[in-house]
Amino acid sequence: MIKVCRVDAIEEGAMFLINIDKKEIVIGKHNGRIVAFDAYCPHRYAYLHRGYFKDNNVVCPLHNFEYDLDTGKLVKIDEKYEDQNEEWKRSGDLRLYKTIIKDGYVYLDPFSTDSEFIQQC
């Protein structure tokens, strides 16, 4: 686990980039929960920290695809892209990272491969 920042340094709704061993990861806070995921959208690689949170999803700023923060799955495509072909709409899953809060700091496991979210105080 890598120490990232103080938990109170992340405002509700905020997202920012961190770089760990040349890997860019987004850290954010949504509904009081710390979340971490790959910096790039699995659709066409837009920076997700320029998007926003909605319901339980992160919304990509480029085509508004929504990825579930519990599973990383694509769960919604904006209606304005319904006419696009299936190949264009295809997207992989968003990779999520495990985070832990301990002694007021956020720790992240950059090698975690599941979508498990653990929060300890």
Q: How far is the CB of 14 from ligand FES (least distance, A)?
A: 19
* CB closer to ligand FES, 34 vs 94: 94
Decide whether 93 or 109 has the Cβ nearer to ligand FES: 93
Q: Which is nearer to ligand FES, 30 or 43 (CB)?
A: 43
Q: How far from each other are the two terminal CA atoms of the chain, in whole angstroms?
A: 16
For residue 107, what are the contacts with CB-CB under 8 A and spacing of at least 6?
Answer: 1, 2, 3, 4, 99, 100, 101
Q: How far is the CB of 24 from ligand FES (least distance, A)?
A: 15
Strand partners for 119: none
CB of 89 to ligand FES, least distance (A): 9
**Nearest-approach distance from CB 70 to ligand FES, in angstroms:** 19
Distance of alpha carbon 89 from alpha carbon 120, whole angstroms? 37
Q: Site residues (CB under 6 A) for ligand FES?
A: 41, 43-44, 46, 60, 62-63, 65
Q: What does residue 86 show for φ and ψ, rounded to 5 degrees? A: -65, -35
| CB nearer ligand FES, residue 65 or residue 97 | 65
By three-state DSSP, how is residue 7 classified? helix
